[in-house]
Amino acid sequence: MEILALIQARGGSKSIPRKNIRLFAGHPLIAYSIAAGLASELVSRVIVSTDDEEIAAIARGYGAQTPFMRPVELSQDDTADLPVFQHALEWLAENEGRSPEIVVQLRPTSPFRRLSHIDQAISRLLEHPEADSVRTVCVPFQNPFKMWRIGPDGFMQPLLGAPVLGAEYPEPYNMPRQLLPEVFWQTGYVDVVWSDTILHKASMTGERILPLVIDPSEWIDIDSPDDWRRAERLLESGEITFEDLGFHFG
């Protein structure tokens, strides 16, 4: 069975310019996702989908493949994941006559994704062929039943209220957290999906999604300069090590 790890890395990052190839503790940020994918014995191939020649060259230098360049129209700020993955699978089928059975999404903004996260998520999908996909999740720091919107009239409205939970939770925002249903946050660390789900169901997840629950302390996402500095310090200080992550460079 061919299992493809696909890493999206367009060149037009706005929050942190050139984020995907900016040095993070001595290596380009994208290199961490490439190294994790290459370290997995279950992953057959690591491909970077990018519209940027410099990103492509750096990705190849760290061992990833770039058999195609992503079209500009699929590299915009508002481009969703689905058309990017459809493009990759369709390109491979048309130009190489092959299509992986499983696709693993590895986002470059998650450099501290552990090798075990990848292998466990893939194994879970292989063990449950009736599922459409597997996603890593964790218990969130804030419960969404205590979140609010502000209406046009200026008054607050509960984001999730009684219609979601039923009559036994008339005012969930006034209840102790311990009495509310357990909820999970999708971390974006690893998404594993059958290619058929992407191509035939036109979805990155399908309807039957299995969780891989990870510890909240393991979840670190880089979306701002502050996130970047905090995450880099964790690695440079030794609080997180490559032994923890399960992969190395070189």
The pLDDT value given to residue 111? 94
Are 205 and 82 within 8 A, CB to CB?
no
Q: What percent of the chain has pLDDT over 70?
A: 96
Q: Is the pLDDT of residue 214 over 80?
A: yes
- pLDDT mean over 142-155: 92
> Is the model more confident about 181 or about 111?
111
Q: Is the pLDDT of residue 161 over 70?
A: no
The pLDDT value given to residue 162? 54
Distance, in Å, from the CA atom of 216 to the CA atom of 31, rounded to the nearest integer, reads 23
Q: Is the pLDDT of residue 212 over 60?
A: yes
**Nearest CA-CA partner of 179 in 189, 187, 190, 168:** 168
Q: Which two tokens stand for residue 234?
A: 């964790």
Task: Place 163 in a pLDDT band, splitting at 50, 70 and 90.
Answer: low
The pLDDT value given to residue 158? 87
The model's pTM is: 0.91
Q: Which segments of the chain does DSSP mark as H helices, in order?
A: 29-39, 53-61, 81-96, 115-127, 162-165, 195-200, 225-236, 242-245
Task: Place 36 in a pLDDT band, splitting at 50, 70 and 90.
Answer: very high
Q: Identify the structural domains of the chain with CATH numbers, from first to last.
A: 3-139+185-245 (3.90.550.10), 144-179 (no CATH)
